[in-house]
Structure 1
Amino acid sequence: MNLMSSAASALAMSACLLGSTGAMAQDAQPTHRPVKNIVLVHGAWVDGSGWKPVYDILTKDGYHVSLVEEPLTSLEDDVAATRRVLALQDGPTILVAHSYGGSVITEAGEAPNVVGLVYVAAHAPAVGEDESALGKGMPGYTSKQPDAIKKTDDGYTYLNPSVFPQDFAADLSHKQAVFESHSQILTAAKVFSTPMSAAAWTTKPSWGIVAADDRIINPDLERWYYARAHSHVTVIPGASHSVYESRPKEVAKVIEDAAQHAQG
């Protein structure tokens, strides 16, 4: 009886230890899974094709990546286009934007499935602010050049092709930059001066990339935006406004960091 009793006690103790170990292992697991959905939003004068180098890295790493093609006809239209793509996602999503797209995700990021925002050389105005007025306070190199930003009779803007390569895309090949200068998507001037009606960065975590040699948006304005939003900031030395095309590895790394640390 003593032997049986000892054996039973040993088994009970083993079961208890195994249960405790299992509980400890379970407690050690992350409290959330990495976010797998990424939505990429382009800026003014360009389309979503510039995101392809980043898209290729993210999809290779197992992320589900979608791109928004904004009409660039009004802020409202561009926000609606972004919300439309967000509604197609099957779970928590990281929303990423370049340049003017930052204003778009500042509003569209209020969607409940958005758990983190990534600003790539992008604007991030607050409610009631617009990027045009903020840009005048800290003007970029391009905005100080006469005739650099052109405007059509019906109120659409584009960047003068003669300055596009050096101002927008100085670290891309000249051939690619020239092509992009002639394939611009004309953008309604009013998108830059429409005040924000929401600012998702006030309630959701954000990451910000400063393109240190940006001529379109003053890098100091990018730093100011991200400091105000308490963003996780990455500075990429030597990067032009086309940082998302020229430095895709660095940009993808920041997006993946957001996906791994946002609460999905």
Structure 2
Amino acid sequence: MPQAEFFMKRILQAASVLALSAGVFASTNALAQDAAHAPVKNIVLVHGAWVDGSGWKPVYDILTKDGYHVTLVQEPLTSFDADVTATKRVLDLQDGPTILVGHSYGGSVITEAGVDPHVAGLVYVAAHAPNVGEDEGALGKKTPSFLAKQTGAVEKTADGYTYLNPAVFPKDFAADLPLKQAQFESHSQILTAAQVFTTPLTAAAWTTKPSWGIVAGDDKIINPDLERWYYERAHSHMTVIPGASHSVYESRPKQVAAVIEDAAKHAVQ
């Protein structure tokens, strides 16, 4: 074979290898980009004060039916630190990016725990979202709720645990739930340490991670104006559900689940 022809053949072979390598690299890069933009499949739900995780069942049923892996945190409600630790313990069990969802006081918990690297986005459901150094008790006094103006609505035990007076629970906490369900919840409350409401936060995940917020339009536990203020400050994607009580996650599960799924689809961009 003439030397010129030999070198030409080698050049063509090298070009072919380079083209194949470039194609493989481009394909791998495209797959990596698709994976980076894939919807988040893990959801962790955090309840608020005086209730437990069972109230999330209507939302849980919708999310699991739609293919999401959903885990609930059962907070001890004995201290803010204990509740954050319980949430981080569940986050450690997740196998990938996770949407962390908090209701009411659970919003403070996810704000602190949400700096965990598993968390891709936050969803606040009629929830508090303090900043570093703030606590929800002080912020609530600046924008008082209907509950805060009621004498004797919040009771306190001798050892510093709080609960909502069962006589006012149905109309204040769960006005849009069936009365018997609301009455049952009023008598199955998890007594909550008063200190959880006045513990200043040391981290605020919403300052670095995308967030979504739901305003319960007829919330009597947290002033809806305070919820709006929180979400506007955090630049959250805000949804207002008119007429919804503080129990919006139970009474309007389809709308709440839709917001959570929107977060799962768009948190990783």
> TM-score by structure 2 length?
0.88
CA RMSD after TM alignment: 1.8
1:181-213, CA deviations, whole angstroms, 9 ceiling, x for partnerless residues?
A: 000000000000000000000000000000000
Match of 2:44 among 39, 45, 51: 39
Match of 1:119 among 108, 124, 148: 124
Structure 1 counterpart of 2:242, which letter?
P
Separation in structure 2 between the aligned mates of residue 180 and residue 59 of structure 1, nearest angstrom: 24
Mapped pair 1:97 → 2:117: no
Separation in structure 1 between the aligned mates of residue 225 and residue 35 of structure 2, nearest angstrom: 36
Mapped pair 1:72 → 2:77: yes
1:6 alignment partner in structure 2 = none
Separation in structure 2 between the aligned mates of residue 262 and residue 170 of structure 1, nearest angstrom: 32
Match of 1:86 among 85, 88, 91: 91
Structure 2 counterpart of 1:241, which letter?
H
Mapped pair 1:139 → 2:136: no
Match of 1:262 among 257, 262, 267: 267
Structure 2 counterpart of 1:181, which letter?
S
* Map 1:147-226 → 2, pairs under 5 A: 147-226=152-231
5+ residue gaps in structure 1?
1-14
Separation in structure 2 between the aligned mates of residue 157 and residue 29 of structure 1, nearest angstrom: 48
Mapped pair 1:110 → 2:115: yes
In the TM superposition, residue 32 of structure 1 has moved relative to its aligned partner by 1.2
1:4 alignment partner in structure 2 = none
* Misfit runs of 4+, over 4 Å: 26-31
In the TM superposition, residue 263 of structure 1 has moved relative to its aligned partner by 1.1
Structure 1 counterpart of 2:116, which letter?
A
Describe the SS at the equivalent of 1:122: coil
Mapped pair 1:245 → 2:269: no
Structure 2 counterpart of 1:102, which letter?
G
Separation in structure 1 between the aligned mates of residue 214 and residue 37 of structure 2, nearest angstrom: 25
Describe the SS at the equivalent of 2:101: strand
Separation in structure 2 between the aligned mates of residue 243 and residue 162 of structure 1, nearest angstrom: 20
Structure 1 counterpart of 2:115, which letter?
E
5+ residue gaps in structure 2?
1-18
1:137-177, CA deviations, whole angstroms, 9 ceiling, x for partnerless residues?
A: 00000110000000000000000000000000000000000
2:237 alignment partner in structure 1 = 232
